[in-house]
Chains A and B, each alone.
Chain A
Amino acid sequence: AQRVTQPEKLLSVFKGAPVELKCNYSYSGSPELFWYVQYSRQRLQLLLRHISRESIKGFTADLNKGETSFHLKKPFAQEEDSAMYYCALSEGGGNKLTFGTGTQLKVEL
């Protein structure tokens, strides 16, 4: 069965510092990996997906199949990045998502 692990419940960084939110997964096939973000009092929304290979709001994530990781990175954190971030895995074909437990990112001034 697939599993997504986000080891950090809370990550606190200063504004302008680099950010890395860790995500590791276990899945026997070829997964699709996603990062979802939930800002305060808002609904969950897609931040980025690995197949798009794009940078959204300065965030990037590279799928490392050897390390089974999909860490989310941003070189310079902004205050507005403070939110809850969930890593998620899909079996492919837009199927059901398996979520990690989430990491609360707090960017301090």
Chain B
Amino acid sequence: GAVVSQHPSRVICKSGTSVKIECRSLDFQATTMFWYRQFPKQSLMLMATSNEGSKATYEQGVEKDKFLINHASLTLSTLTVTSAHPEDSSFYICSARVGTYTEAFFGQGTRLTVV
């Protein structure tokens, strides 16, 4: 089956620094990638949708300048949390899909802790 890999799986960073999370589709070309955020015991909340080669579409309430998303190739999307603060601590999950009407495959998630 299709595999989506996220890196790192865990990261701790100091408040005010930036951290980058990578999402790779290992054995397929992902035309669309999604970034989610999940708080403890809560649901996955979609942050943004990115299509290869174009700007990401952010959900309402998600700061574009805070969460920078790049989808430079069909196998890689990155999420950069800029000037991180403790309230940005969360579990970030990406998913990738090829075409429309197809299954989205999920990464294993990245646990971000800002201290």
Contact = CB atoms under 8 A, between A and B. Distances in A.
B44 interface: yes
Given A93-B101, A96-B49, A43 B108 contact: yes
B46 A86 contact: no
Nearest to B3: A43
B104 A94 contact: yes
Interface stretch (A11-19, A22-30, A56-64, A97-105): A97-105
Given A94-B102, A99-B44, 12 more contacts: A43-B4, A43-B107, A43-B108, A46-B104, A94-B97, A94-B99, A94-B104, A95-B100, A96-B46, A96-B49, A97-B34, A99-B43
B27 to A, nearest CB: 15
Interface of B: 4, 32, 34, 41-46, 49, 93, 95, 97, 99-109
Given A86-B44, A99-B43, A94 B106 contact: no
Interface of A: 9, 42-46, 49, 86, 93-102
Contacts, number: 43
A94 B43 contact: no
Given A86-B44, A96-B46, A98-B46, A44 B106 contact: yes
Contacts of B95: 44
14 contacts: A43-B4, A43-B108, A44-B93, A49-B103, A94-B101, A94-B104, A96-B34, A96-B46, A97-B46, A97-B104, A99-B43, A101-B42, A101-B43, A102-B43
Contacts of A9: 41
Nearest to B93: A44
Nearest to A87: B43
Which residue, of B34, B44, B100, B102, has the highest number of chain A Cβ atoms within 10 A? B44
A103 to B, nearest CB: 11
Contacts of B4: 43
